[in-house]
Amino acid sequence: MPTTEFAYKTYFDEFEVESLVSGPTINYGLFETEIKDTQAEQLKVYSGLERGLPMFSGASFGNQVHFQNAYQTPVQRWFPYREGYSTRLVNSFIKELKITGYVFDPFSGSGTTLLASRTNNLNSFGIDVNPISVLVATVENEQYSKSDIKYLSLEIDRIKSLLKSNETFQTSFELAGKVFNQEILQSLLQLKKHIKEIENEKIKNLSFVAWLSIIEGVSNIKKEGNGIKYKNRKRTPTGYINIDKDVWEKQTFPVDKFGFVKIKLVKHLETILFDIVNNYGNCEKKPNIFKGSCLEFDTLFSSEIQFTFFSPPYCNCFDYFEIHKVDLWLGDFVSDKEDFRLLRNTGFRSNTNSLTHKPIIYKNENLENLISLFNNEKLWNNKIPNVVRGYFDDTHTLLNKLYRQTIEGGYVGIVVGNSAYSGVIIPSDVLIANIAKEIGFKVKSIFVTRHLTTSSQQKQELEILKNYLRESIVLLEK
């Protein structure tokens, strides 16, 4: 009987597994004089954290831990969920670990883990705090019957034949006038009203997801980095220039704005129809998807879990609600600022907007050592130390709950990226592995899938530490 380690080697050979236990390739002797005190301190903490952990190269997963391929993948392409990963990634782990029991994703996003589980004929469930994610995951994991397919193709014909209305449609989204050309906004709102009146619930939800997914393409903004950027603001070698909004809109959009938006929606619905007809609908297992915080998942269901696979928000201040702000407002998921604030407060403590008065209970010495190295003058927000503490407090709570609800011999796979503040790297992968060990999990492997880039400002500062700026998959076993 091969040991699990051996089994990994044979399976992951395909994925160029290479042991990284020897640690970073830094010649301390040679660089001694160039390493700043704080960097030497960091290296000490990192090597302490990595000691004894089974580190592997997971370079061949590098193109599966992000959404790039999913833009072309049937079903996943229904909604561009930039923060998602590939179904291939989840498939590999399900197959390698021979999963037959319940699968769970506590940060289900667009539902990739659930989709992969479903196509492997496994029962699964997921949770997410963002109502858009819940809707997308529900729609992508729905069963569509022959009569639904017929209804959808008739609906596409109905939308095709719609004419521009003379009615003026309202939205509570204050920034709508800036984010959209006025006629495009009216076209979107008219189409939304039409979709809300569709009687077949499944086709209504599906059409609404299609409508949500075309918003960015017909708007004046794009999702980029940690937020939204105006498309008429262009970077030139001498700095940014703003093209006048009216001029930019005239150059960008055709005269028939209603036709333009309508065709985008129709084309997207046709792609969805194509996927349903050709690739989908044969799986019997339908996942349960809850809207809520994963920190309370144990109150929502009681099944014992064999495999949890997820990617949490990273500890990098990325705000999921900010990036989906336009969709949330225009799609009526929030109707005033208080709604929006409350929604943000339910998120994992990974950014400054998610900090509440919730106490920080979990203490971690390595983390405190790293936080003490922050250069407060260089931090762009003085809440960052508590974001980092809150993040690992939430991680600790979640891992504890997962431990309690995972069956003996069950697994947890976590796709996570490390982050950096004022030249100090927070190595979430090995911190999480160590917290999991404290709780009782065995750390099976840490696959380093790719190294992350950073702003040119931080680049030079982080040169010596760059091996730690990476995205990994932490695999735990109970």
Ligand X SMILES: C[S@@+](CC[C@H](N)C(=O)[O-])C[C@H]1O[C@@H](n2cnc3c(N)ncnc32)[C@H](O)[C@@H]1O
Query: Which residues lie near ligand X (CB under 6 A)?
Result: 81, 83-85, 106-107, 109-110, 112, 127-130, 133, 293-295, 311, 313, 320, 347-348
How far apart are alpha carbons 118 and 341 in whole angstroms?
A: 34
Instruction: Tell me whether residue 439 is exposed, middle or buried, using C-beta atoms within 10 angstroms of its C-beta: 0 to 12, 13 to 18, 19 or more.
Output: middle
CB neighbours of 33 closer than 8 A, spacing ≥ 6?
none
The identity of residue 459, as a single letter, is: K
**What is the rounded (10 degree) CA torsion for 329, 331, 334, 335?**
80
Pick between residue 114 and residue 330 the one whose CB is nearest to ligand X: 114
Gap between the Cα atoms of 23 and 54, Å rounded: 11
Q: Minimal distance in Å, beta carbon 84 to ligand X?
A: 3
- Considering the complex, state which of residue 102 and residue 374 has its C-beta at the smaller distance from ligand X: 102
- Between 289 and 373, CB nearer to ligand X: 289
CB 411 within 8 A of CB 310: no
CA distances from 52 to 21, 76, 121, 168, 457 (A): 8, 38, 36, 65, 33
Pick 187 or 293: Cβ nearer ligand X: 293
Short-list 385, 302, 322, 390, CA closest to 350: 390
Would you say 293 or 434 has its CB closer to ligand X?
Answer: 293
Q: Minimum Å distance from CB 34 to ligand X? A: 36
We find the least distance from the C-beta atom of residue 417 to ligand X, in angstroms, to be: 9
Cite the beta strand spans of 245-401 per DSSP E: 288-291, 305-310
Q: How far is the CB of 324 from ligand X (least distance, A)?
A: 8
CB of 186 to ligand X, least distance (A): 30
Residue showing the smallest CB distance to ligand X in the complex: 109
CB of 126 to ligand X, least distance (A): 9
Q: Give me the least distance between CB of 323 and ligand X, in Å please.
A: 10
Which CB atom, from 294 or from 330, has the smaller least distance to ligand X?
Answer: 294
Question: Between residues 295 and 446, which has the closer beta carbon with respect to ligand X?
Answer: 295
Of the two residues 73 and 271, which places its CB atom closer to ligand X in the complex?
73
Q: Name the CA radius of gyration of the chain, rounded.
A: 24
Cβ proximity to ligand X: between 160 and 404 the closer is: 404
Least distance from C-beta 39 to ligand X, angstroms?
Answer: 29
Distant-in-sequence, close-in-space partners of 403: CB < 8 Å, separation ≥ 6: 436, 439, 440, 441, 478
Q: How far is the CB of 294 from ligand X (least distance, A)?
A: 4
> If residue 409 lies in a helix (H) or strand (E), which one and from where to where?
strand 406-417
410: left (phi over 0), alpha (psi -120 to 50) or beta: beta
Rounded CA-CA distance 123/251 in Å is: 50
Torsion, Cα of 42, 47, 50, 55 (10° steps): 110
